[in-house]
A and B are shown apart, each in its own frame.
Chain A
Amino acid sequence: MFKNRQGIKGWFYLRGANFERYLYTLHRITGFILVLYITVHIILMGSRAFSETAWRSVLSFIGITFEDSIYHINPVVHFFEYLLVIAILFHAFNGIRLILTELGFFIGRPRRPEYPYVSYSIARPRPLMIFLMIIMFFFAVIGIYEFFLIH
């Protein structure tokens, strides 16, 4: 049975690692951040259940202020919101790749290792990884427009 001898340190042991290994580490880091975020998010956004005043004061606390029928977001908060969206998009699209490969899709049949010993279990799903990362990148780019150019 596989033993994780290095523990969490093993995530960062990347010497000689392929690109998917970097994505794995990034997936875990973004996952950890997102669990912390969702905890705070559920508690803060729950203020809407109490009153409009509570809702506004919580949003004001995180840098969103209301003025007539619109609201303004603190630029620093807005920037971190963008980073958060990127982390979510990365985790979501990389997660779909991990689910598909975990279930055996896009891996192909096992084959005899022959020179030059290309790892087909990594090479075969690579187009899927590139495709999903391109979609993520597309959302990130239109996010620049949404977050920074039209506000």
Chain B
Amino acid sequence: MKETRLWILHLFSGFVIFFLLLWHILYMHYPVIMKGFNFGVSFPLMFSQVTARAKSAGFKIAYTLFLVFALYHGFYGLKNLLIETKWGRKAEILIVVLLSIIAIFLFIYGVFTTFKIGG
């Protein structure tokens, strides 16, 4: 039952990040075309632009949600891939523990960098 819930959460997080990812891709990787639609900026990697959007509450919320759902979706998916290696039950436990530690570290670091820059 627990695994079913985790799987449903995997699907739900995939559905949420579909929209966040499209927004992120269009904003960061299609800046010239999107500027034509009055969305985004021409040079999103300029430090002034990075700090400007990081100060926006909307961006902070979106980045945090993105982090939560993308890390859960990614690392739960990776866990499912790795346990197909058939390395045994002990290896499965080790994989779950290691991936959880990495995901939690990335989440804490990601939230720290999201909020620190905005001051």
Taking beta carbons and an 8 Å cutoff, which residues of A are in contact with B? Answer: 4, 7-8, 10, 28, 31-32, 34-35, 38-39, 42-43, 45-46, 48-49, 52, 55-56, 59, 64, 66, 69-71, 81, 85, 88-89, 92, 95-96, 99, 102-103, 139, 142-143, 145-147, 150-151
Contact = CB atoms under 8 A, between A and B. Distances in A.
Interface centre among A38, A89, A99 (most CB of B within 10 A): A38
Secondary structure call for the A interface: helix
Would you call the interface of chain B mostly helix, strand, loop, or mixed? helix
A38 B29 contact: no
A103 B106 contact: no
Given A8-B85, A42-B109, A35 B74 contact: yes
A28 to B, nearest CB: 6
B84 to A, nearest CB: 5
B15 A48 contact: no
B47 A46 contact: no
B85 A7 contact: yes
Candidate in A7, A35, A145 with the most chain B CB atoms within 10 angstroms: A35
B25 A34 contact: no
Contact of B84 (A8, A55, A151): A8
Given A31-B81, A49-B113, A146-B32, A71 B11 contact: no
Interface residues of B, number: 39
A7 B113 contact: no
Contacts of B77: 31, 35
B91 interface: no
A98 B117 CA distance: 37
Contact of B47 (A10, A56, A139): A56
B46 interface: yes
Contacts of B14: 95-96, 99
A96 B81 contact: no
A28 B47 CA distance: 35
Nearest to A85: B29
Nearest to B14: A95
Given A35-B77, A71-B43, A150-B32, A48 B50 contact: yes
Closest 10 CB pairs of A and B: A46-B113, A49-B113, A49-B116, A35-B74, A52-B47, A7-B86, A35-B78, A146-B30, A49-B117, A42-B110
Contacts of A142: 30, 33
A42 to B, nearest CB: 5
